[in-house]
Structure 1
Amino acid sequence: MTHILAAGDRFIRSAHLRKSIERALAGRAADIREIEFPWPDAPFGRVAEVNEASGTEEQLIEALTGVTAIATQLAPITDRVLAASPELRLIAVSRGGPTNVNLEAARTRGIAVANVPGRNGISTAEMTIGLALALLRRIPLSHNTLLAHEWRGEFYRLDEVGGEVKGSTIGLLGAGAVGGHVASVFAAMGADVLVFDPYLQPGALGSGVRKAESVEQVFAESDLVSVHARLTEETTHMVNAERLALMRHGSRLVNAARGGLVDYDAVADAVERGQLAGAAFDVYPEEPVDFSHRLFALAAAGHDIVLTPHIAGASRETANRAADGVAEEIRRFLAGEALLHPLVAAPGPAWPGAGLAQR
């Protein structure tokens, strides 16, 4: 009997993972166990040498006894956990960036690792578009005035009204699974979309989308800039004071990617001096956030600052894609087929789990 662990949390539930695995295996014999960790009700964090993990090494070691494959989003898969789980042959991670997995330790032990890239691409793209529209049309600010029982006519004054997407220039820093969808939607709405992405393939841009030659060009020409890059040493604080100073007076900024991409102190300065008419953020340098940061004071004082608690990728569809994605990787592994999205390939001409699902 093949033993599989569905290690869920309160977004991608263990029962959800189990059902997806059962569908993928189509009745083949397998013992699917469940464990569930407390994220997002309890913040994820660092566990030993891995990041963005939920639960403890001790819990996972006990649950992995005799297990061949694990499906998880946030389980802390550390070197210690792998050393204590000699029968584990596949780690299927239901996210794009598996920072909760020690990939080198898995590679050393010949354990295959697969992920689900782009699982939340549509969800994050739609949230980004929503944040941009909220800024352009001043929706949260005007909503709050009604909650305060105020009917403020100045929202219809020419110097107070918002703007439209059609005819504006929207700059995107990155055109992957999220940025590419944002680009196509804004282009369809009539915007001139300007994209900087050094990895962009020739011919990948659709109608209404232009390729920028530099990051600085995006800031200089855009009415609204949205960030869609991966966080690396090179991209940390790619949105900084120098680049914000290149933007047109009264422009706007959106970040639903990673908090470390943006210098939030520089953003607060730009809002205070009017360089930025508004900014919208779903991600932050520290999570949970530092509520003493000036951005919160500026938002409370009536500036157009829209803040949400890192929920851009949170949709039922994202959870479904994630669970189905890891289930398919487990099916392939156990059937001896090549993984769709291998991060670490197990050594040898065939996967170690080949044929296990039929036993």
Structure 2
Amino acid sequence: MTLRVLAAGDNFVLSSLLERAVLDQVPDAQVSTVDFEWPDVPFGRVAEVDEATGTEDEMIAALRGHDVLVTQMGAVTERVLRECPDLKLVAVSRGGPINVNIPAATEAGVAVCHAPGRNATATAEMTIALMLAVLRRVPETHAHTATGEWRGDYYRYERCGLELEGTPVGLVGFGAIGSRVAKVLAAFGAEVMVYDPYADPTLLGDAEHVAELDELLRRSRVLTLHARVTEETRGLIGARELALLPSGSYLVNAARGTLLDYPATVAALKSGHLAGAAFDTYAVEPIPAGDGLLSAPNVVMTPHIAGASKAVAEKAARIVAAEVGRFARGEELANCSNPEATEVHRVHRR
């Protein structure tokens, strides 16, 4: 029986990347493609799922009659599942299948996979880039120089930033991304400290010091966030925690906006307690007009693009295609969000 696969791509994880990766794994698969317009058209809520693109009608029209869906942000809702009864596997090419109704998929016997770690290297590299940019005022001095203004006053002692060598840098979170950041910081000669009560002990070799959160905050001249968002970590860094940082410290967040109290951060920047901050993620995205962050001093901001590299898109396609290959061979899926659903169709060609 020929495996019928829909590759629902977008302008980042291209349908052509998904198709090629699937055919590398299952050469005799019948692959159809459809393209959504993200990121040119922002993702949003579609019926009951978040961070999805397209409409239910578009997905149903493209998906009906297929056994497998590989996608980044295509909406997989209860209605889509109900109207596409041939579907047996959804492989989402992102760190979590936010765009899939997992309970409905489980009830329908549809296994749902995702691609953990696809952007770990890219996000770690972006974290270091943001850190260096804010410590050495790169965007600010570029803006002056690009308009022909030669600002020698950036050599004044009080305007100079920090070197990473010898600087205490605290990491909140030490998973796939945080551990990579630690390795790069260690190579720079920074004093790396970690707070993560759930960290894998085998990864902690790149941290010179493992600390409780308050101790880490008191010692860190640079704080960088890498924790997952849970009920426990939501709003983890607020006014109290920022006050524990030494005066003149720096903050970097390329993880998730909800880890941080942004109004408290703006206040710390405007008071001078924080010397600078760099962000790729925010409490509300896009940043609302008039948000205090837009007028705060010495802030470097990028629009949630830490995971945007060609390598991420290619790697994501390979990860989900590998799941399609396992499925086609009747093997156990590697990154399945609802393993209880896998037995229903494991040997679907029997």
Q: Once the 2 structures are TM-superposed, how far is the Cα of residue 239 of structure 1 from its aligned partner?
A: 1.4
Distance 1:320 1:281, change over 3 A: same
2:322 is the alignment partner of 1:328: yes
Counterpart in 2 of 1:224?
Answer: 222
User: How high is the TM-score relative to the length of structure 2?
Assistant: 0.96
| DSSP-derived class of the 1:321 partner | helix
RMSD: 1.5
What's the offset of the Cα at 1:346?
Answer: 4.9
Specify the code of the residue in structure 2 equivalent to 1:289.
Answer: I
Find 1:354's aligned residue among 342, 347, 350: 347
Q: Is the 8 Å Cα contact of residues 219 and 247 (structure 1) preserved in structure 2?
A: yes
The residue type equivalent to 1:294 in the other structure is: G
Q: CA deviation at 1:152?
A: 1.2
SS at match of 1:4: strand
Cα deviation code 1:135-194 (max 9, x no counterpart): 111111111111232111111111211111010010111011111100111012111111
Kept after mapping to 2: 8 A contact 1:191/1:208: no
**Could you tell me which residue of structure 2 aligns to residue 272 of structure 1?**
270
Separation in structure 1 between the aligned mates of residue 159 and residue 340 of structure 2, nearest angstrom: 60
Conserved 8 A contact 2:8-2:69: yes
2:178, 2:147 → 1: CA distance? 36
Matched, 1:101 2:100: yes
The corresponding residue for 2:134 is 135
Give the SS at the match of 2:237. coil
Deviation string 1:239-273 (CA, Å, 9 cap, x unpaired) is 11111011111100000111111111111100011
**Alignment partner, residue 85 of structure 1:** 84
SS at match of 2:157: coil
**What are structure 2's unaligned runs of at least 5 residues?**
none
In structure 2, relative to structure 1, the CA distance for the partners of 1:200 and 1:208 (3 Å cut) is closer
* TM-fit CA distance, 1:204: 2.2
Contact 2:227 2:255 (C-alpha < 8 Å) held by counterparts: yes
Q: Which amino acid aligns with 1:345?
A: P
Distance 1:155 1:347 in 2: 60
1:1-359 matches, cutoff 5 A: 1-25=2-26, 27=27, 29-213=28-212, 215-298=213-296, 303-347=297-341, 352-354=345-347, 356=349
SS of the residue 1:230 aligns to:
coil
Q: Report how many residues are paired.
A: 349
> 1:215-247: CA deviations, max 9, x gaps?
222221100101111122221111111110111
Q: Distance in 2 between matches of 1:347 and 1:284?
A: 35
Shift of 1:293: 0.6
> C-alpha displacement at 1:41, in angstroms?
0.4
Q: Is the 8 A contact 2:195 2:216 kept in 1?
A: yes
Amino acid in structure 1 at the alignment position of 2:254 = A
Amino acid at match of 2:159: E
- Offset at 1:208? 4.5
C-alpha distance in 2 between matches for 1:346 and 1:138: 51
Helix, strand or coil at the partner of 2:337:
strand
Q: Residues of 2 paired with 1:137 and 1:168: CA distance?
A: 14
Structure 1: any 5+ residue segments left out of the alignment? Answer: none
C-alpha distance in 1 between matches for 2:149 and 2:289: 26
Instruction: Give the Å deviation of 1:202.
Output: 2.5
Please say if residues 111 and 346 of structure 1, whose CA atoms lie closer than 8 Å, have aligned partners that are also in contact: no
8 Å CA contact 1:5, 1:32 repeated in 2 = yes
Taking only the aligned residue pairs, the percentage that are identical comes to 47
Change (3 A) 1:168 1:326: same
Distance in 1, matches of 2:319 and 2:257, equals 27
- Rounded to whole Å, the distance in 2 between the matches of 1:138 and 1:90 is 48
Equivalent residues of 2:97, 2:112 under 8 A apart: no
Pairwise CA distance, 1:355: 6.5
Structure 1 residues 241 and 327: CA distance shift in structure 2, 3 A:
same
Per-residue CA deviation, residues 99-139 of structure 1 (Å, 9 max, x unaligned), is: 11111111111111111101000000000000001111111
TM value normalised by structure 1: 0.94
